[in-house]
Structure 1
Amino acid sequence: MKIYRLLTEEDTSAFCHKVSLALSKGWVLHGDPQYAYDHANGVMRCAQAVTKEIEGEYHPDMKLGEQ
């Protein structure tokens, strides 16, 4: 089955590291990254969707980051 995550972070190298870590664990990019200005905190935020094929059934209490 395919599972989905949306990775988010401030627009710093931390975001790139978060995405790179997910890719190293078998996640695949899904679509283009998105950027938006966070007015409350005065920073740019990034988001990247990723997907992964796993064995078994989905359940809402899954820890997707541990897959």
Structure 2
Amino acid sequence: MNEKQRVYRFLTGVDNADFCHKVTEALSKGWVLHGSPSYAFDAEAKVMKCGQAVVKDVEPFAYSREVVLGSI
């Protein structure tokens, strides 16, 4: 049996079309939404910011902090 390894990313950004494109790009590359989006007001920048967790099951690899998760 070939077991997969799950990787996790948390995408963040200002609540605008660019953030939606960031999430859509991740989905188009095989990432899957994980949980609900989150929103918070950044009082210093005076903007709403949002985040969305995504996960992806991949072939096992030697994980290290140097891995660029967006390139998986």
Larger Rg: 2
Q: Percent sequence identity over matched residues?
A: 52
Q: Let me know the Cα RMSD of the aligned residues.
A: 0.7
How many correspondences in the alignment? Answer: 67
**Of 15-24 and 49-58, the range deviating more from structure 2:** 49-58
Matched, 1:57 2:49: no
Unaligned 5+ runs, structure 1: none
- Runs of at least 5 residues in structure 2 that lack an aligned partner in the other structure: none
Indicate the residue corresponding to 1:31 in structure 2. Answer: 35
CA distance in 2, matches of 1:40, 1:6: 22
Corresponding residue for residue 19 of structure 2: 15
After TM superposition, what 4+ stretches of structure 1 lie above 4 angstroms from structure 2?
Answer: none
Q: 2 CA distance for matches of 1:38 and 1:21?
A: 25
